Amino acid sequence: MVDKKKTARQTAFAVLEKVFSEGAYSNIALNQALLEASLSSVDKRLVTEIVYGTVARKMTLEWYLSHVVEDREKLDSWLYILLLMSLYQLQYLDKIPTHAVVNEAVELSKARKKGSEKFVNAVLRRLLRDGVADIASIKRKNKRYSIQYSLPVWLVKVIIEEYGEKRALAIFESLFLRNKASVRVADLSRKEELKQLLQAEDSLLAPSALVKNHGHFAGHALFEEGVITIQDESSQLVAPTLDLQGDEKVLDACSAPGGKTMHIASYLTTGQVTALDLYDHKLTLIEENAQRLGLADRVITKNWMPEGFLRLLEWMPLIKF
């Protein structure tokens, strides 16, 4: 459970620990934290920005820190994560006072391990005084783009070879554009009503989606009631393409966190969808979502069915190798 008295940065720090140390999905960990925290809408936006921004810029932030932290391996993981999220704020969030970032980072570290606050204070103040290292100094082009856009070198190379450098750079830049917050409406007959209640807009991409350009849907009672569920607009296009009649047995071969699985299940009556994933804790998320949406009788998560399947869904990256 998230302590309801936590500040925005404490909440963001807790989420990032789950993501980086426990392998949690950033969107699920964030939504759960926002549901449980007692924060203003402004603070919830700050939490969202810190979490998604730190995750998106992780390789860049790590490269910057490597110039001021001599031996990362000697640092506790929580301490390194705290430095990452603090540097993200200092480097990319111009409207936040630097003293607020440093002071709260110091307090967070002090509360976690007495004495660590001196190290945190020294690192952050050095970054403020001297600035970060210049990425332009990296001579190898693919490595430079890798650090600048927080992408592995092999992926930078593949995209440049596939699309050319000019278009590749546009693709890299687009990765930092924040997606609209989106939900899928379980009962489309209520979509107009829900649009008003949620102060949302119709998606131009998916008929079942409602979107917000700013803000989020986490914390709304309609989510807990299973009336809406968090799902990306593009992934809401998948289930309708399967042309389901209701009695099929469908295999979702890479199912977590379960948005598409639940959407498929909503089309079934006597049929079932079997959701597979490598990790049990991810399948638990699917089970919880199925219960919340009233679809548990149509979703199988751990038992492999020996019979054949009429539909197979496998989520593959659209990149040539």
pLDDT of the residue at 317: 47
Tens of pLDDT along 36-79?
888 998 999 999 999 999 999 999 999 999 999 988 889 999 99
What are the φ and ψ backbone dihedral angles of 219, each rounded to 5 degrees? 95, -10
Q: Which of 298, 241, 262 is nearest to 183 (CA)?
A: 262
pLDDT of the residue at 315: 55
In the structure encoding, which two tokens stand for residue 178, read together? 């924040």
Q: What is the average pLDDT value for the chain, to the nearest integer? A: 89
Q: Which of 74, 65, 69, 7 is nearest to 38 (CA)?
A: 7
Domain boundaries, the chain: 8-130, 135-175, 180-239, 243-320
Q: How far is the C-alpha of 237 from the C-alpha of 242, rounded, in Å?
A: 10
CB hemisphere CA count around 143 (13 angstroms): 7
As assigned by CATH, the class of the 8-130 domain is mainly alpha
Q: How far is the C-alpha of 72 from the C-alpha of 76, rounded, in Å?
A: 9
pLDDT of the residue at 195: 95
Binding-site residues sit at: 254-260, 277
Of residues 98 and 223, more confidence is placed in: 98
pLDDT of the residue at 168: 95
Per-residue pLDDT, averaged over 5-25, amounts to: 94
Percent with pLDDT over 90 in the chain: 69
Provide the pLDDT confidence category of residue 163 given band limits of 50, 70 and 90.
Answer: very high
Is 243-320 assigned to CATH 3.40.50.150? yes
pTM equals 0.73
Binding-site residues for S-adenosyl-L-methionine sit at: 254-260, 277
pLDDT of the residue at 278: 77
The yes-or-no verdict on residue 131 having pLDDT over 90 is yes
The yes-or-no verdict on residue 15 having pLDDT over 80 is yes
CATH topology for 180-239 is Alpha-Beta Plaits (3.30.70)
pLDDT of the residue at 283: 86
